[in-house]
């Protein structure tokens, strides 16, 4: 996590109650023959008022007309705080709130044993700044070998700062120093603010709508060409990048969100991507929501979306879940919206906050049992609506209903066939309680729905089957079920509970263990690469396979998946229907 900067002009209190103790220390940069002593007293005699007066005793051979770096040591932590030159403070870095004072001298400053003793003094105010230790040396530039390093040293640094941003909402705002030139070279918005025709000469600019951590991430990129994103600040950083028109940082934020996108956060990210006008991220969110609709609608983040996003989801034709799931998700959102509006979550209020979104629910497409146990008893529907829907289910002459009566078609599942033919009888496949596995990878993101399996080659038979999908040894999904084989060479489709997201260019292992009639069909003339629509599958043998399945032959002839949109000519050759029970 990025640490928060100290607030500008924030007083840093001290726990010391005595006058600072004079200490003798070894210089930090170059050896001196004799240690240097200083005298330190609180200005105005008050520890918390006016800062600290430091007097340098030059009798040890240090001339006051050479720059002297002053610092303090407190609780085993050293902090340099300023420079004295010709009796004048020329660089103030922070205040002293410690009982132990030290002075050090930069390596670039020569010592002068013949200089006449002259006392020097300076008063440091009690406000702390968030400066970089590396720039306290007047010759700090000599240690920075590139412009990137020198720029990085100025990040979040008071040194030469000519603008301050008061970032964050009132009560939690933080002051962040910056340099107009650096910002203007990285953002057209900053250029207009500082050098445009309507530029204003301000020392501070308030930015209440951006989080401090996100603003610092923005500055880190502008100063250092470094991008630091985390799950809890990426959306705020994307907002900042959009606000100040920094497209490369915005693109990095979107890429981060796409790679971390799951069913648990897809709805909330969809809501945000609509606000940010990020069509690619929106499309990715829709892919996840469509394919993993039940998990997305049941996620905690779903209830936090805005009403327009809710309506767009409820109107979606391609949601792959039962309508009762959509109905219950809408009621959960309504309850959360009632809480946001600080009203009671009664059935009447839920209906009120849903408004016209209620009529996007396809209640008549539920089963009679689902309707009777759900919407009919929710009190969200009026008595007349409940009666009309019941009549719609049962009456020959159906009443007019405002709710859509056509079921959502959902996504079209696609099939990847990896064998060119199947065999039986003379070379029959046997099941001996062993695992059939195959490893695969794809070049585009898809969602695995299930597998197609071969059944009995010796008449009708029932099978117990366990299917499993793993990634790098980690089980992503498993399903124990049964299927009936009619004795033909047709494959039998076995589905997971929910579709599983499969990322491109990563290896996954599909496995199946069958228990039933030992004689079975098996595939042959296997292909190591198969193209389905615009998705390319690559297959290779798996060490998990203990029953003979491999690339050339064996079980698991088909992978069922949701993928990118198909061309119309591909649909009849590579798709299959799914019925939700």
The whole-number pLDDT of residue 40 equals 44
- How far apart are the C-alpha atoms of 64 and 74, rounded to whole Å? 25
For the cut 70, the answer to whether the pLDDT of residue 196 exceeds it is yes
Cα gap 336→326, rounded to integer Å: 16
State the Cα–Cα distance between residues 459 and 34, nearest whole angstrom. 101
Quote helix, strand, coil % in the chain, to nearest 5. 30, 25, 45
pLDDT of res. 134: 53
Q: What is the pLDDT of residue 520?
A: 80
Stronger pLDDT, 573 or 552, i.e. the higher one: 552
The 3-state secondary structure of 359-395 reads: HHCCHHHCCHHHHHHCHHHCCCCCHHHHHHHHHHHHC
Minimum mean pLDDT among 35-39, 330-334, 403-407, 475-479: which range? 35-39
Predicted pLDDT at 564: 79
Query: Residue 559: its pLDDT value, please?
Result: 97
CA separation for the pair 61, 115 (Å, rounded): 7
Give strand ranges (E) for 108-153: 120-124
Mean of per-residue pLDDT scores for the chain: 77
**Range 529-540 average pLDDT:** 95
Asked if pLDDT for residue 93 goes beyond 90, the answer is no
* pLDDT at residue 425, rounded to an integer: 56
Locate 426 and state its tokens: 């003379």
CA nearest neighbour of 328 among 384, 293, 375:
375
Residue 106 reports pLDDT greater than 50? no
Q: What is the pLDDT of residue 528?
A: 94
CA distance 313 to 408: 12
List phi, psi (to 5°) of 142.
-65, -25
Whether 98 has a pLDDT exceeding 60, the answer reads: no
From residue 247, alpha-carbon distances to 156, 180, 237 in Å are 22, 19, 12
The answer on pLDDT for 131 being more than 60 is no
pLDDT tens digits, one per residue of 202-219:
889 999 999 999 999 999
Q: Between the CA of residue 241 and those of 221, 348, 393, what are the distances in Å? A: 10, 42, 53
Task: Report which DSSP code applies to 133.
Answer: G
Ranking 157-161, 263-267, 514-518 by mean pLDDT, the lowest is 514-518
Cα–Cα dist 525/420, whole Å:
5
How high is the pLDDT of residue 302?
95
The residue with greater pLDDT, 141 or 117, is 141
**Mean pLDDT within 400-410:** 93
d(CA 387, CA 44): 85
In sequence order, what are the residues at sequence separation of 6 or more whose Cβ sits closer than 8 angstroms to the Cβ of residue 573?
none
The pLDDT value given to residue 220:
94
Q: Is-contact 355 347, C-beta < 8 A?
A: no
Alpha carbon distance 287, 322 (integer Å)? 17
The yes-or-no verdict on residue 427 having pLDDT over 70 is: no
State whether residue 510 is helix, strand or coil: strand
pLDDT for 431 equals 72
Task: Give percent of the chain with pLDDT exceeding 70.
Answer: 72
User: Residue 433 has what pLDDT?
Assistant: 76
pTM of the model: 0.68
Question: In this predicted structure, what is the pLDDT of residue 100?
Answer: 36
Instruction: Using pLDDT thresholds of 50, 70 and 90, give the confidence band for residue 392.
Output: very high
Which domains occur in the chain, in start order?
Answer: 21-140 (no CATH), 144-259 (3.30.710.10), 290-394 (1.25.40), 414-574 (2.60.120.820)
**Per-residue pLDDT averaged across 118-138, rounded?**
41
Sign of the Cα torsion 32, 33, 34, 39 reads negative
Question: Which of the four pLDDT bands, split at 50, 70 and 90, describes residue 222?
Answer: very high
Question: How far, in Å, CA of 220 to CA of 152, rounded?
Answer: 8
Beta carbons of 301 and 265 less than 8 angstroms apart: yes
User: Average pLDDT for residues 142-159, to the nearest whole number?
Assistant: 85
Token pair for residue 27? 């210089």
Phi-psi map region of 305: left, alpha, beta (phi>0 left; psi -120 to 50 alpha): beta
> What residues contact 276, with CB distance under 8 A and at least 6 apart?
238, 239, 242
- Please give the pLDDT value at position 429: 67
Contact 526, 552 (CB under 8 A): yes
- Give the lowest-confidence range in 154-158, 425-429, 489-493, 534-538: 425-429
């Amino acid at each position: 996590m990025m640490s928060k900067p100290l607030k500008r002009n924030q007083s840093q209190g001290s726990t010391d109650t005595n006058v600072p103790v004079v200490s003798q220390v070894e210089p930090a940069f170059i050896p001196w023959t004799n240690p240097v002593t200083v005298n330190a007293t609180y200005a105005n005699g008050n520890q918390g008022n006016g800062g600290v007066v430091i007097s340098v005793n030059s009798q040890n051979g240090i001339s006051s007309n050479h720059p002297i770096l002053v610092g303090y040591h407190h609780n085993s932590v050293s902090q340099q705080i300023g420079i004295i030159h010709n009796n004048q403070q020329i660089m103030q870095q922070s205040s002293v709130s410690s009982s132990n004072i030290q002075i050090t001298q930069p390596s670039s400053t020569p010592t002068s044993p013949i200089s006449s003793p002259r006392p020097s003094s300076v008063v440091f105010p009690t406000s702390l700044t968030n400066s970089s230790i590396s720039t306290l040396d007047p010759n700090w530039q000599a240690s920075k070998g590139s412009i990137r390093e020198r720029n990085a040293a100025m990040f979040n640094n008071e040194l030469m700062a000519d603008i301050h941003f008061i970032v964050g909402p009132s009560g939690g705002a933080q002051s962040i120093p910056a340099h107009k030139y650096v910002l203007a070279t990285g953002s057209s918005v900053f250029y207009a603010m500082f050098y445009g025709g309507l530029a204003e000469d301000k020392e501070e600019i308030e930015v209440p709508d951006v989080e401090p951590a996100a603003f610092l991430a923005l500055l880190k990129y502008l100063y250092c060409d470094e991008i630091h994103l985390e799950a809890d600040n990426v959306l705020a950083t994307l907002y900042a990048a959009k606000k100040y028109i920094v497209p490369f940082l915005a693109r990095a934020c979107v890429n981060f969100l796409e790679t971390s996108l799951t069913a648990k956060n897809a709805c909330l990210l969809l809501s945000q991507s609509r606000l940010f006008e990020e069509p690619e991220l929106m499309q990715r969110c829709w892919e996840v929501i469509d394919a993993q609709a039940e998990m997305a609608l049941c996620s905690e983040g779903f209830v936090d979306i805005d009403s327009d996003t809710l309506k767009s989801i409820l109107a979606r034709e391609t949601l792959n879940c039962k309508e009762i799931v959509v109905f219950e998700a809408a009621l959960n959102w309504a309850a959360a919206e009632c809480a946001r509006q600080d009203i009671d979550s009664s059935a009447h209020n839920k209906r009120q906050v849903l408004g016209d979104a209620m009529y996007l629910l396809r209640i008549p497409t539920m089963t009679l049992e689902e309707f009777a146990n759900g919407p009919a008893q929710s009190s969200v529907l009026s008595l007349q609506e409940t009666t009309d829907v019941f009549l719609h289910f049962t009456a020959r002459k159906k009443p007019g209903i405002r709710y859509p009566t056509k079921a959502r078609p959902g996504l079209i599942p696609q099939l990847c066939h990896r064998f060119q033919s199947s065999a039986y009888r003379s070379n029959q496949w046997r099941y001996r309680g062993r695992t059939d596995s195959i490893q695969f990878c794809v070049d585009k993101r898809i969602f695995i729905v299930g597998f197609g399996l071969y059944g009995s080659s010796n008449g009708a038979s029932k099978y117990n089957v366990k299917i499993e999908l793993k990634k790098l040894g980690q089980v992503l999904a498993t399903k124990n079920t049964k299927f009936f084989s009619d004795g033909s060479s047709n494959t039998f489709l076995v589905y997971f509970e929910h579709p599983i997201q499969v990322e491109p260019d990563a290896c996954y292992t599909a496995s199946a263990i069958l228990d039933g009639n030992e004689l079975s069909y098996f595939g042959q003339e296997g292909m190591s690469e198969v193209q389905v629509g615009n998705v390319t599958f690559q297959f290779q043998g798996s060490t998990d396979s203990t029953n003979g399945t491999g690339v050339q032959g064996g079980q698991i002839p088909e992978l069922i998946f949701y993928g990118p949109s198909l061309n119309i000519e591909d649909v009849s050759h590579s798709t299959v229907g799914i019925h939700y029970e």
